[in-house]
Amino acid sequence: MIKMKKLILFLSLSGFSISVSSQEILTLDLAISEAVERNFSVKVAEKRVEAAENQIYKGNAGMSPQLDWITNINGSVNQVNQVFVDDRKINRLGQGFSPNTNLNLSWTLYDGRRMQVIYNRLQTQGQESLLQKKLVVQNVISNVMQVYYEILRQKKSVEYLGQIIKYYEERLNITEERWQIGRGSKLDYLQSKTDLTTQQVELVSAENQLRTSKVRLNNLLGTPADRSFEAEYISDEAPIYNLNTLLDQARSSNRDLLLLNKGIELSLLAEQEAFSFKKPRIALNSGFGYSFNRNNAGFLALNQSVGLTAGVSAVWNIFNGHQTQRDIQFARINTEVIQTQKQELLNQLEADLTASYYQFEADRELLNLEQANKEVAEENLNISLEKFRLGASTILELNEAQRRYDLSLNRLVNAQYNLRISELELLRMSGTLVE
């Protein structure tokens, strides 16, 4: 139904793995497929497309003839009392029965092209509803990807906190051992225990945030809130984009821009429809009828007729208080308004897309720096921990090394997430997230 175009399969958070044999693996592609299939907003948009397409037929534009069958059956009972000048009298109870049936055909032959304009409008409205559906799908996919990336960020934070806690546990063991044998102070031991507890609190909070994000994703996918799954890390390479190519794609594929184009088309059609009222309307009218009348109380006991009629009628409005001209002027003004809105959106889109492109390039460079910084901070922590174990450094030096390592991991996770979101914005604004 919908072809995805390069769904940002990049930026894997390499590192530590967690056993997930008992949990479902939910890939990004699978999450997107489930959202498109089950999301309630998408279902509503699909129904609106179906409703709009059901309106696209020539009869709805007045192009088809109209055929009516009209049948009447009447009966009567009459008491007739008549006295003539020659003293003749008639006293009679009469009964009447008069059924009749008619087939009437009316077919508009010409109305200043109004029928064709209406048909074109119905087609354009169908195309507009399809674009609106694609915009809904794009927004749903964008939301799914953002939440999925947030899950990956929190998942990696949980894993990093697990690694950090191991360093703090090792530090606690060292300070406890030193305190027990009299080579260190109890203050160092208590400080190490407090710092370990702080990290454990951070881990509990991160795990809860991860669970909450999974609930949000399940809601977007239309699946049970307590569904258990494991998000899968995705590739670690960010594609190379060209700004001019992205701008060209945005001008031709951005959903909001395409909707404004359809708005302009509809406004131009409204102008043509209003102008058609200046032209005459010519219609073919035909009828076939049968009538029967029987009445034993009148002069005619039986009257029966069968007939065919045909004719052409023409109507041309000469003056209607300038209403037609005002409708034309209103449609023209509305077209100019939408064209101005389109130009405003285009200018804003080019500015936002250019800024997002520069942000994406900056985020790519920041990620490379943070990856290198994480390696340096980890090596520095390992050296500081070994020196502390050997008694060649103080706990303050180890604290600083741990703080820098904590900060480097947090910044790395954020850099990976920011790059994902930056690319998502590029694809969304350029209109290439969904075809």
Name the residue with higher pLDDT: 154 or 298: 154
pLDDT at 300: 56
Q: How far apart are the first and last CA of the chain?
A: 10
- Dihedral sign for Cα atoms in the order 10, 13, 16, 19: negative
3-state secondary structure the chain: CCCECCCCCCCCCCCCCCCCCCCEEECHHHHHHHHHHHCHHHHHHHHHHHHHHHCCCHHHHCCCCEEEEEEEEEEEEEEEEEECCCCCEEEEEEEEEEEEEEEEEEEEEECCCHHHHHHHHHHHHHHHHHHHHHHHHHHHHHHHHHHHHHHHHHHHHHHHHHHHHHHHHHHHHHHHHHHHHCCCCHHHHHHHHHHHHHHHHHHHHHHHHHHHHHHHHHHHHCCCCCCCEEECCCCCCCCCCCHHHHHHHHHHHCHHHHHHHHHHHHHHHHHHHHHHCCCCEEEEEEEEEEEEEEECCCCCCEEEEEEEEEEEEEECCCCCCCHHHHHHHHHHHHHHHHHHHHHHHHHHHHHHHHHHHHHHHHHHHHHHHHHHHHHHHHHHHHHHHHHHHCCCCCHHHHHHHHHHHHHHHHHHHHHHHHHHHHHHHHHHHHCCCEC
pLDDT at 93: 64
pLDDT at 16: 32
Q: Mean pLDDT throughout 341-354?
A: 97
pLDDT at 298: 55
Tell me which fold the domain 24-68+110-283+321-430 belongs to.
Answer: Outer membrane efflux proteins (OEP) (1.20.1600)
**Residue 58 in this model has a pLDDT that exceeds 50:** yes
Residue pair 403/381 in contact (Cβ under 8 Å)? The answer is no
Token output for 288: 């076939």
Burial class (CB in 10 A: 0-12, 13-18, 19+), 82: exposed
Model confidence at 340, in pLDDT bands (50, 70, 90)?
very high
Model confidence at 424, in pLDDT bands (50, 70, 90)?
very high
pLDDT at 262: 97
**Cα 137 to Cα 233: distance, rounded to the nearest angstrom:** 24
pLDDT at 8: 34
pTM of the model: 0.82
**Cα 125 to Cα 132: distance, rounded to the nearest angstrom:** 10
Residue type, 425: E
Sequence spans of domains, the chain: 24-68+110-283+321-430
**Burial per residue of 180-189, b for 16 or more beta-carbon CB atoms within 10 angstroms, e otherwise:** eeeebeeebb
**Residue 409 in this model has a pLDDT that exceeds 50:** yes
Which residues, in sequence order, are CB contacts of 165 under 8 Å at separation 6+?
196, 199, 200, 203
pLDDT tens, 362-372? 999 999 999 99
**Residue 9 in this model has a pLDDT that exceeds 80:** no
Q: Mean pLDDT throughout 13-42?
A: 74
pLDDT at 394: 85
pLDDT tens, 234-262? 876 788 999 999 999 999 999 999 999 99
Residue pair 167/408 in contact (Cβ under 8 Å)? The answer is no
pLDDT at 236: 66
Q: State what percent of residues in the chain have pLDDT above 70.
A: 89
Model confidence at 291, in pLDDT bands (50, 70, 90)?
confident
pLDDT tens, 117-145? 999 999 999 999 999 999 999 999 999 99
- The mean-pLDDT minimum among 97-101, 163-167, 170-174, 212-216 falls in 97-101
Q: How many CB atoms sit inside 10 A of residue 345's CB? A: 15
Q: Output the average pLDDT for the chain.
A: 88
